[in-house]
Amino acid sequence: MDVLELKFLLKLLGFPDYRAPIGEIKPNPKTTTAERDAICRGLLHRSLVDYSIEVVAIAITPAGKSLLSLDTSKLPITESELEIIRSCANGAIAPTGIDIPPASREESVQSLISRGLIKAEKTQIQEVWLTQLAMEYLREEYNPSGTNPVLSLDLLSNYLRFLRKFLRDRAVGSSEVLPIQPYKELPSNLGDEDILQIIRDIDRELGTENYLPIFHLRHKVQPPLSRDELDRALYRLQRQNRIELSSLQEAIAYSPEQIEAGLHQDIGGPLFFIIVN
């Protein structure tokens, strides 16, 4: 991927839903409209963006000319469609110049193009957006190299917000997949051994590889336990060397509510992960 293509994608990351009018995307201040559209089409060819187009000029096809010589009263064609075909019979025209209500005109133009009676003589890109493939590529595969500074801090900021949003969404999503048992299915007198087994079970279910965020355990056992009761149980298990408690280093991967579920300390950040010994 060259620098201008990368800048195009990073520009899109700065818009809601990674979607924007094409006129808002300019990799460089000196990038021309033709160059911008060429970049966009190249990215489309690689399935990294998709876009909507506007037909700005239409022309009649040989099939459309043949239709005008027939008795159209017996053909499956509307008056609006006939007006469009007649209007471009002598040369390419802009659809907006045809005296038909805009909503009906756009629908009729698309129908005639799909049936081969007229053709899009000229189109322009209207709106462009990132594909799922592009998002996966930027998150997981793109590996930049080189020493020349090519990106502005604004573009870097777009990229960092994109990654942080993904990490937060994934963290929230992982908390939702846990099948939380109803209150009545958990005994009211959960002991330390019960809690230890629940930790093992949740870790196995979620695949957290013996590095379980505490908020998952809270979702499972509160109630019947209160927060304070669970905190005391975890500290007891730690003193007995049954578990280890680890602090959180990368807070951007979790929501404020998930971080708040950790074990608060007087100094430093919360204890956040449970490791079974």
| Residue 136 located in a structural domain | yes
The range of the structural domain enclosing residue 246 comes to 183-276
CA distances from 28 to 24, 33, 61, 234 (A): 12, 11, 39, 55
Coil vs helix vs strand at 212: strand
Both tokens of 9, joined, read 């994608």
What pLDDT is attached to residue 184? 41
Residue that is last in its domain, among 152, 170, 203: 152
Q: What percentage of residues in the chain have a pLDDT greater than 70?
A: 88
Claim to verify: residue 55 and residue 4 sit in the same structural domain = yes
pLDDT digits (tens, 9 = 90+) for 166-208: 776 665 554 444 444 433 455 567 788 888 888 888 888 877 7
Claim to verify: residue 139 and residue 49 sit in the same structural domain = yes
Is 216 in contact with 273 (CB distance < 8 Å)?
A: no
Q: Is the pLDDT of residue 17 over 60?
A: yes
Kindly state the average pLDDT of the residues 52-79.
88
User: Amino acid identity of 154?
Assistant: D
Q: Is the pLDDT of residue 69 over 80?
A: yes
| Residue 119 located in a structural domain | yes
Among the listed residues 272, 228, 218, the one whose alpha carbon sits nearest the alpha carbon of residue 249 = 272
What pLDDT is attached to residue 180? 40
Q: Is the pLDDT of residue 266 over 70?
A: no
C-alpha 260, offset from chain centre: 27
Confidence of residue 85 (pLDDT cuts 50, 70, 90): very high
The count of structural domains within the chain is: 2
What pLDDT is attached to residue 182? 39
118-130 β-sheet, strand order: 19-21, 118-130, 49-60
Q: Is the pLDDT of residue 74 over 60?
A: yes
Claim to verify: residue 21 and residue 120 sit in the same structural domain = yes
Among the listed residues 249, 264, 256, the one whose alpha carbon sits nearest the alpha carbon of residue 175 = 256
pLDDT digits (tens, 9 = 90+) for 113-169: 988 999 998 889 999 999 988 888 888 888 777 776 777 888 888 888 888 877 766
Claim to verify: residue 143 and residue 7 sit in the same structural domain = yes
Per DSSP, the residues of 119-149 read: EEEEEEEEEEEE-HHHHHIIIII-----SS-
CA distances from 178 to 156, 175, 200 (A): 34, 6, 13
What pLDDT is attached to residue 249? 65
Q: Is the pLDDT of residue 33 over 60?
A: yes
| Residue 158 located in a structural domain | no
What pLDDT is attached to residue 175? 45
| Residue 228 located in a structural domain | yes
